[in-house]
Amino acid sequence: MPSETLEKDPILETDFVQEVIRQLRALDTFGARDGMSDHQLLERLLLTRERLREIPMVGTPDAEALTRLRVFYNALAALIERECGRMATPMIQVNAEGFGRVIVSVGKLLVLDRTLRDVHRFGFESLSRMKTEADKQLSVALNILGDHPKAAGI
Amino acid sequence: MPSETLEKDPILETDFVQEVIRQLRALDTFGARDGMSDHQLLERLLLTRERLREIPMVGTPDAEALTRLRVFYNALAALIERECGRMATPMIQVNAEGFGRVIVSVGKLLVLDRTLRDVHRFGFESLSRMKTEADKQLSVALNILGDHPKAAGI
């Protein structure tokens, strides 16, 4: 996706993508990417078909893959938190074979609980696909919250 | 604790310690400790005062510390599972500074959720102290289950 397209994309203004940008800046502990614009940061995050082709089918998740995973679920947790008004905490576990589990808890309730496979290949080829997946998972999480508000402490 | 004492200790017959032994054998993937008796295995697991003194105050959790942590919480999860009749899944996250979080979930309910500190020094000096702590945490977990059976799927 050329920068000009991404720069004008209205998706950049959505809560989810704004949160993704915040997470990307937060994970950049040493400020190595301070000079990058938001859309430069986002472009690095996307797993385009070309990049995906370069990743072996079987492998150990590298730092980039873990960043893609963390940014996605941290941003999703932040959105859940905003929607329900209670702290939503993500927790991610990945082993060297690229299998793992991600949860997001609100109070004593697991509003999200997913098994991860092929973490080294985790990613989205466009912001719109990432947002679609986030919206889907957000909606499931909010339904779970609606079903069990007491366990969530709401 | 000399072997003779441990060998005759009735605590060895408790569900918790039996489960600890099972977990120790399960984590021994390559069978390196197949030749060891139960009480030899348990002795290695204990963090006696002498051993604790050798561990620096600040440090990165090593494999032994992570084993002590996993065995304890896996055994606790197995006990929770036996009590409530539903699968109880532990999940442990530890960073290089020895901080982390452990949860045990039953259905969508977090029956245990603890912040970990100084994981490199995690351990118990005796089986009875380990069992006392396990009983305490088990009782809290069962209370949470009693309060939110629907979220746990019971």
Per-residue pLDDT of chain A (154 residues; tens, 9 = 90+): 455 555 667 888 999 999 999 999 998 878 888 888 888 889 888 999 999 999 988 888 999 999 999 999 999 999 999 999 999 999 999 998 999 999 999 999 999 999 999 999 999 999 999 999 999 999 999 999 999 999 999 9
Q: Encoding tokens for residue A33? A: 């990417």
- Asked if the C-beta of B143 comes within 8 angstroms of chain A's C-beta atoms, the answer is no
pLDDT single digits (tens) B21-36: 999 999 887 888 888 8
What fold does the segment set A3-152 form as a domain? Putative cytoplasmic protein (1.10.3100)
Q: In a mutagenesis test of the B interface, which of A86, A91, A144 is the best target, namely the one with the most B β-carbons within 10 Å?
A: A91
Residue with tokens 């366990």: A151
Contact B147, B104 (CB under 8 A): no
Q: Model-level pTM?
A: 0.89
B80 neighbourhood in chain A, CB within 8 Å = none
- The complex's ipTM works out to 0.87
pLDDT single digits (tens) B116-151: 999 999 999 999 999 999 999 999 999 999 999 999
Q: Where are the domains of chain A?
A: 3-152
- For the CA atoms of B11, B71, B60, B111, the dihedral, rounded to the nearest 10 degrees, stands at -100
- Asked if the C-beta of B110 comes within 8 angstroms of chain A's C-beta atoms, the answer is yes
- Asked if the C-beta of B67 comes within 8 angstroms of chain A's C-beta atoms, the answer is no
Fill in the DSSP letter of residue B11. Answer: G
Q: In a mutagenesis test of the A interface, which of B108, B112, B115 is the best target, namely the one with the most A β-carbons within 10 Å?
A: B108
- Asked if the C-beta of B140 comes within 8 angstroms of chain A's C-beta atoms, the answer is no
Identify any residues that bridge with A88 across adjacent strands, giving them in sequence order: A106
How far off is chain B from A115, nearest CA to CA, in Å?
A: 12
Q: Determine which helix (DSSP H) or strand (DSSP E) holds A57, and give its type and residue range.
A: none
Cross-chain residue pair B110–A113, CB shorter than 8 Å: no
